[in-house]
Structure 1
């Protein structure tokens, strides 16, 4: 089963049946506000989950269609893997359908499905004409070659086929990045009595875990994750692509606004002057002018700002150019983020594009050196592109397949990154493995945090299993690469690897109650010498439950206090003394029988035989018939 996480959403004119379609697909009612139910339109974003025939679990967003709620639509479109463009069979393409299409194009949404809904309200002849009209109306948009499904949310007709179509659409979707820093744009902020502030959004990048420290930007507020939910279920970790609800500790609901972002502290730039590549929609009949005031949408935030054109006097319909947006409040933004601008009043979409970076100053207009810098940012510095791919570790051969650069060209650029301390070089068997420095450091931090947390929760276990750690990290490496990197990290001293377990380098004392029980076991076994009690019996005497006795025993073995020999646990010091006494006896008598050794050690055959077999295996003694001699 595909274990990636996907998000799809709806788009389309008000009252074309988006909410009813989601209900037919999922059985979930996404209208949650009283006003929404009374008016029959979606005002806020609604969410549901959908299990597809392949087993994929998909989050689905119901976004508002009414023109007054385009801000919520923009927030919903952020992070989508695909879109269902819903068109009512009895009305066809309408004004908000076209605006939604413009927004999806500007935001870089690359794939979708056309859903003609309410087919139960029209006859076959009308439906045939409508399909031709829809195809004509979608020319020049991302839906020009999209599959078309005819459905009725009311009768259920076509719903099963649509689910199969969504499955096929997502088979080509690009997986979101589970490694790297966290980025969660917020679309809801509220308070629950007894819990405090809760925020929700679609996790764009990284993995959020319980207890993790995060920053809320742009308000520069630090908080810790108190609890997590995905699809209304409590979880310990949330992965990129999932809809997440996060209960934040120590934050007042009034300190966080919808549109803020929860991120790894210091991971993303924040500013109110952004370098941008801006396009005026070709459908507009007006130019974008210098210092024009606009509504700027990025992620889930809307901010007011002014356009600062850098290479045009004005930006004509259909024209594209470099500019800055001078915002009235700071936002989180990074290169390649997509944005949309809307006319200040009345609000309608006029253009959009991509972020090139956060700027520390307002640039001079028509300055060639500044424009040259922006061209490089726009076209993509090869080193930056390479570094972006190296958020995951790759060999040079793998990079050649990704970039189609020659071997020499790849190596020269890797050398440049190494020289500027932007990558780390590990080993994958005998091949150098290249890894962006920030991503490798973040991975180490995550390993350390998970391993330490596990050690605190299960102090007797001595570490977390390799496979459990891999699952919690969410890495998708091959098993061979995972094991190699894990071993190399232990060699570098980042953590300890003991067999199948990974332990922290932090020395933590056992909780007092556990420490008393461990001391009791140690003393009981020390007193017993070479005739230890049965494990469960001895554990019971020390107040340890039957189910926990093996965990205590494993801990004492790992600590070197006990030895496990043929299902029995012995005090290590007693075994060492027994070995010395046996060697002394054999040096005097040359050979001994079981009875001789039993008498020497003052123990029973039950314990003597396993111990002698242990010494045979470890080449201390050699068995000749029913006698033992020294193995020289």
Structure 2
């Protein structure tokens, strides 16, 4: 039995027998709403499944055909491997058939079968004529070479042949990626008493397991998988390509909307501006214009937005071009996703195409560099695209997860980039990190510029602190990776690290005027011994303002000339002398009190007490009541 998973679906005009056809194929009823049964048309998506002659089990999506329910049709078409374009033998191609056909073309559905249904209503000659007419009308579409099957869903004539044809097409279909991150557009949300919130959809990528923590995007609402069903059977694992019902723990049904996406947390980008390659349908009767308000359909999502054309004043029918869409709400999107655009009012399919990526800002129009970037995103060299994606250091597994590529498939490309010196290799513990050379050089240039500016602005601070540098760079990496890259960069000689401070490799240069003030301050302290003066008053006598004085003192402490004890600043030279005198006294007398220390150090009680406590903290002495002994 084939272990891959597939999804087939229907498309076509209302009342051409799509639901009846699925019933004939699978034996299952997909109309579940009372209104659907009463009116005889599908309003919501319907789902079924069947076993093919080869042993493949496939999911089936029954989509509404009525023009009022195209949104549901778009949601259902998301993730289809094969589509059955259903055309009634007694009516032929109708307006809604054409719109469904346009949507399928724009979504890039890879394979299709034309099903001429209701063959029992007409004679053989009419069927021949209808097939010839359909083939002619499909000549300029993606269905021009699609196989045609004549069936009667009512009498089951032709149904076995249709099953064989579906089976044959699926043999050519590539399996969806079960090794990447989880991504499942949600097409139904409901609650079951005793179980809680349930969402359903087609699992586009990844493998879902019980207990897995997932995020509902947009909104980043976290929930755990409590239970799973595939084709109404309880399972512990669901794989890409399967129709899945997920019971989520820790979330209320009111928090989830149809159109949201269930994903592996922190993998997929969410944004309100997308880079696009747009095709205006040749059947459209109007051009697509700048800032035109449209309905944007992606997966099961529908959001209003405005088109921002980048290389054309307008897109005429049949014309293709680069654009952005400025959405009114955020959406989950990835490069390569297919989308459809419909008029805001009246709702009519007009265009569609491919998502090139989530953008951070709106681009300027008619700019050569912008068009070049879009072209590269659309059809660039795979190595160029990979290098651009490694904009920050990442492991192979992180890259594989984000790009939805198996780790093994990445290794050859990474090796080629490394050999071409387009990739830097770093280490985090024993794990290899990869970083695009261009991105790494730009990052370092920015880092060094920040350090230089900080040193010029704050020459006495001995460089910028690691945490402030991280904030100014806007780094969002985990702290371990940040510290690893920072320290290895210092080892590679890009800059210097001194404790918690980062400096340029040349070090901080103290301006002449500040050096003169420092010398004046030092000179004052050379004469005071262990009775240092008030910092603020003495600094002002050296032309140092009250607000700047602490910074001068801190600088002298950091370079080891001064030591800050309590509210006083002592010179290191005088402290060393005090230490020697006290050790000598204790060797002779075994203990020392405040009055003896004051005499030994020739200073007042005001300074003696903090000095004694300092030496206690240094574990030079140990306090016993009012006396100190050597530690």
Residue 280 (structure 2) pairs with residue 276 (structure 1):
no
Q: CA shift at 1:192, angstroms?
A: 1.0
Shift of 1:393: 1.0
The answer to whether residue 397 in structure 2 is matched with residue 393 in structure 1 is no
Structure 1 portions without partners, runs of 5+: 400-408, 427-433, 438-632
Could you give the per-residue CA deviations for residues 489-545 of structure 1, whole angstroms, max 9, x where no partner exists?
xxxxxxxxxxxxxxxxxxxxxxxxxxxxxxxxxxxxxxxxxxxxxxxxxxxxxxxxx
Structure 1 position 417, deviation (Å):
9.0
> Deviations for 1:589-626, whole angstroms, at most 9, x for unmatched residues?
xxxxxxxxxxxxxxxxxxxxxxxxxxxxxxxxxxxxxx
CA 1:118 to 1:72, structure 2 compared with 1: closer, same or farther past 3 Å?
same
Q: CA deviation at 1:391?
A: 1.8
Matched residues in 2 for 1:417 and 1:43: separation?
56
1:537-585 alpha-carbon deviations (Å, 9 max, x no partner): xxxxxxxxxxxxxxxxxxxxxxxxxxxxxxxxxxxxxxxxxxxxxxxxx
Alpha carbons of 1:417 and 1:21: their partners in 2 closer, same or farther (altered >3 Å)? farther
Query: In terms of Rg, which structure is larger?
Result: 2
C-alpha contact 2:278 2:321 (8 A) present in aligned 1: yes
The CA deviation at 1:285 is 1.5
Between the aligned partners of 1:384 and 1:45, the Cα distance in structure 2 is 40
Residue number in structure 2 paired with 1:504: none
Aligned to 2:335: 335
The answer to whether the 8 Å contact 1:291/1:308 transfers is yes
Change (3 A) 1:436 1:77: farther
Among 413, 421, 437, the alignment partner of 2:417 is 413
Q: Distance in 2 between matches of 1:249 and 1:98?
A: 42
Gap change, CA 1:385 and 1:369, over 3 Å in 2? closer
1:473 is matched with: none
In structure 1, what is the equivalent of residue 65 of structure 2? Answer: 65
Task: Give, in angstroms, the shift of residue 140 of structure 1.
Answer: 1.2
Structure 2 vs 1, CA of residues 344 and 256 (structure 1 numbering), >3 Å: closer, same or farther? Answer: same
CA distance in structure 1 between the aligned counterparts of 2:375 and 2:41, rounded to whole angstroms: 44
Matched, 1:111 2:108: no
* C-alpha contact 1:311 1:323 (8 A) present in aligned 2: yes
- CA drift of 1:25 comes to 0.3
- Tell me: CA distance 1:116–1:423, structure 2 relative to 1, closer, same or farther (3 Å): farther
CA contact (8 A) 1:182 1:206 kept: yes
**Take 2:379 and 2:115, find their aligned partners in 1: how far apart are those partners?**
36
What is the Cα deviation at residue 307 of structure 1? Answer: 0.4
Whether 2:20 is the aligned partner of 1:20: answer: yes
Distance 1:49 1:392, change over 3 A: farther
Give runs of aligned pairs for residues 295-374 of structure 1, distance below 5 A: 295-374=295-374
Question: In the alignment, which residue of structure 1 is the partner of 2:123?
Answer: 123
Q: Please name the residue that 1:55 is paired with.
A: 55
Q: Deviations over 1:338-359 (max 9, x none)?
A: 0000000110000001001111
1:164 Cα deviation after fit: 0.4
The answer for the alignment partner of 2:36 in structure 1 is 36
Cα pair 1:391 1:435 within 8 Å, conserved:
no
Distance 1:153 1:132 in 2: 21
- Whole-angstrom CA distance in 2 between matches of 1:422 and 1:128: 67
In 2 relative to 1, CA 178–395 (structure 1 residues): closer, same or farther, beyond 3 Å? closer
Q: Kindly indicate whether the alpha-carbon contact (under 8 Å) linking 2:310 and 2:323 is maintained by their aligned counterparts in 1.
A: yes
Seen in structure 2, the aligned counterparts of structure 1 residues 59 and 5 have a Cα distance that, compared at 3 Å, is same
Q: Contact 2:423–2:434 at 8 Å: present in 1 too?
A: no
In structure 1, distance between residues paired with 2:98 and 2:242:
28
Separation in structure 2 between the aligned mates of residue 162 and residue 196 of structure 1, nearest angstrom: 39
- Cα distance in 1, alignment partners of residues 7 and 59 from structure 2: 5
| Distance in 2 between residues matched to 1:123 and 1:53, nearest whole Å | 29
The CA distance in 2 between the partners of 1:229 and 1:436, in whole Å, is 39
1:392–1:435 contact (8 Å) kept in structure 2: no
The structure-2 alpha-carbon separation of the partners of 1:410 and 1:301, relative to structure 1 and needing over 3 Å to count, comes to closer
1:99-248 equivalences under 5 Å are 99-248=99-248
Deviation for aligned residue 1:29: 0.2
Secondary structure of the 1:393 match is: helix
The secondary structure found in structure 2 opposite 1:136 is helix
Is the CA contact 1:290–1:313 (under 8 Å) kept in the aligned structure 2? yes
Alpha-carbon distance between aligned partners in 1 of 2:37 and 2:185, rounded to the nearest angstrom: 27
Closer, same or farther: CA 38–436 of 1 in aligned 2, 3 Å: farther
Change (3 A) 1:127 1:329: same
Say what the alpha-carbon RMSD is for the aligned residues. 2.3
For residue 368 of structure 1, report the CA deviation from its aligned partner: 1.7
User: 1:252 offset after TM fit, Å?
Assistant: 1.1
Q: Report if aligned partners of 1:392, 1:436 keep a CA contact under 8 Å in 2.
A: no
Distance 1:170 1:21 in 2: 19
Distance in structure 1 (CA, Å) of the matches to 2:201 and 2:323: 29
Deviates more, 1:386-395 or 1:296-305: 386-395
Q: Once the 2 structures are TM-superposed, how far is the Cα of residue 219 of structure 1 from its aligned partner?
A: 1.5
SS of the residue corresponding to residue 38 of structure 2 reads helix
Contact 1:391–1:436 (8 Å) recurs in 2: no
* 1:395, distance to aligned residue in structure 2 (A): 9.2
Question: Is the Cα–Cα contact under 8 Å of residues 417 and 423 in structure 2 kept in the other structure?
Answer: no
What secondary structure is seen at the aligned counterpart in 2 of 1:14? coil
1:66-125 Cα offsets, whole Å, 9 max, x none, are 100000000111111110110000100000111011101100112111100000001112
Spell out the pairing of 1:4-15 with structure 2 (5 A cutoff).
Answer: 4-15=4-15
State how far apart, in whole Å, the 2-side matches of 1:435 and 1:17 are: 55
- Structure 1 Cα separation of the partners of residues 105 and 427 of structure 2: 35
**Partner Cα separation in structure 2 for residue 343 and residue 43 of structure 1:** 21
Residue 70 to residue 315, structure 1, CA distance change in 2 (3 Å): same
Q: Which residue of 1 aligns with 2:377?
A: 377
Q: CA deviation at 1:370?
A: 1.5
Distance in structure 2 (CA, Å) of the matches to 1:269 and 1:112: 31
The separation in 2 between residues aligned to 1:422 and 1:46, in whole angstroms, is 51
Please name the residue that 1:477 is paired with.
Answer: none
Kept after mapping to 2: 8 A contact 1:394/1:435: no
1:461 equivalent in structure 2: none
1:414 Cα offset (Å): 5.4
**Unaligned regions of 5+ residues in structure 2, if any?**
387-399, 436-631
User: Number of paired residues?
Assistant: 418
1:420 Cα offset (Å): 4.0
